[in-house]
A and B are shown apart, each in its own frame.
Chain A
């Protein structure tokens, strides 16, 4: 049986260090398996968060050899066997313990986004949507809230601008609401101001790391930027709206 080495971050909010562990490998082994093996056989105090081991719950996010990844979807044989695999908690968020980061900021921000609002026209008719109208936003519903995109986004990661930018995950959520055929709220003022869609410089790292392969930049952020441009930057559209009697 062959062995691999892992260098895992051990520590908490007060600091920590990288520790090296050697584990046995088996065919198809993923990084989360290796972490579990360390927990079971070498150090039961190693903390990590996981749930499904099927790339669907979004809990096991960490940084493997410097790239944000789901540990349960990252095979150990993707990496050179002669070097340790470095496993680090998400760098953009505060650390709780070992591989567990505190991602609660993301849920706080999410709460500030107004949920779907339907027109209240007093009718008892059931609301109907056509598939063609929801095709586009179904992609956004695939999000598993792993926050890998939030972690990799340089605005949040390097600039630490959580004060002015909601991050790519919330842009996906805003896009799913903004493009919803039955939603009646206008989220453009929010996008321009508090959510800060203009801060994203469309460098696409969020798209690169998304385990659900959501085209975050092309299908959510850029279309939102164009909608904001319609309202705030396009004088021609302004005139057209004025002529058409719309706001």
Chain B
């Protein structure tokens, strides 16, 4: 009887000779670094809005009354919850939304299944997949099927963060644009590029249809589908740059709050 050749069994076994381990290693390193930073910032519960920071007086002198709100703390909740004497960070209430969106994102799934779960670590490299493997058909991974709901929330967040950009331009004596405005704007643009390239959205706007020429509505949806497809083809790129964008925007606000840098006002009008 014919048999399958399985002479290279065991995790990490492969006949590949290139540096297949480099990509999963890089992915794991960058994702871990982000997770550590995001966790620290979520629980820090400080340095997310200059007006509330210790250096507030200097900012009031510069005439800023608007927000320069960290994306980790947006939308702003100014209630002070205490649980057993511990001030609950408002970021904890916000975190589940972007977190569940990225965790269930088809691109990030690929990234972490490969780099953290080793299923597989790289192509044609044996990882943790066993004869009992059921993938996303069983708990917990079956939850990934609900990605669209995480998308709905993420879609709303684009508008919340865009509103923050507008608020960042408001000063006591009128309007102005600072470097911080651009940092927040860049963050929204990258997030929009990421969110609007989502596979669930691609399905929803037109991917689910089989006939695009059958009605005017279907034709319109085909047009939308093509636009989402354009972003979808660059989804992995946007997934990364938007992740860096969020970290950068937060870091900028944190530095302004901590008085390390001054938010440079470029124009006033």
* Chain A residues in the interface with B (C-beta under 8 A): 9, 13-14, 63, 65-68, 83, 86, 88-89, 91-96, 102, 130, 132-133, 152, 154-155, 157-161, 164-165, 178-181, 183, 196, 198-205, 208-209, 217-218, 222-223, 225-230, 232-234
Q: Which residues of B contact A229 (CB under 8 A)?
A: 145-148
Give me 23 A-to-B residue pairs in the complex whose CB atoms sit less than 8 angstroms apart, sorted by A's number.
A14-B3, A65-B15, A65-B16, A66-B14, A66-B16, A66-B17, A67-B123, A86-B15, A91-B4, A133-B213, A152-B124, A159-B131, A159-B132, A160-B4, A164-B134, A181-B213, A199-B133, A199-B137, A201-B136, A202-B106, A205-B123, A222-B106, A223-B207
Query: B135 near A92 (CB under 8 angstroms)?
Result: no
Q: Which residues of A contact B158 (CB under 8 A)?
A: none
Q: How far is the CA of A222 from the CA of B197 in the complex (A)?
A: 13
Using A89-B5, A91-B5, A94-B2 as known contacts, say yes or no to A199 and B134 having CB atoms under 8 A apart.
yes
Query: A94 near B16 (CB under 8 angstroms)?
Result: no
Q: Which residues of B contact A89 (CB under 8 A)?
A: 5
Measured between C-beta atoms, what is the minimum distance from B244 to chain A in Å? 22
Q: Which residues of A contact B136 (CB under 8 A)?
A: 198-201, 225
Q: Which residues of B contact A66 (CB under 8 A)?
A: 14-17, 124
Query: A233 near B2 (CB under 8 angstroms)?
Result: no
B interface, how many residues as a size bin?
35 or more
Q: How far is the CA of A1 from the CA of B1 in the complex (A)?
A: 43
Q: How far is the CA of A152 from the CA of B120 in the complex (A)?
A: 10
Q: Which residues of B contact A179 (CB under 8 A)?
A: 210
Q: How far is the CA of A180 from the CA of B145 in the complex (A)?
A: 23
Pick the most buried of A13, A179, A203: most chain B CB atoms within 10 A of its CB: A203
Q: Which residues of A contact B2 (CB under 8 A)?
A: 13, 94-96, 102
Binds A, one of B38-46, B63-71, B108-116, B165-173: B108-116
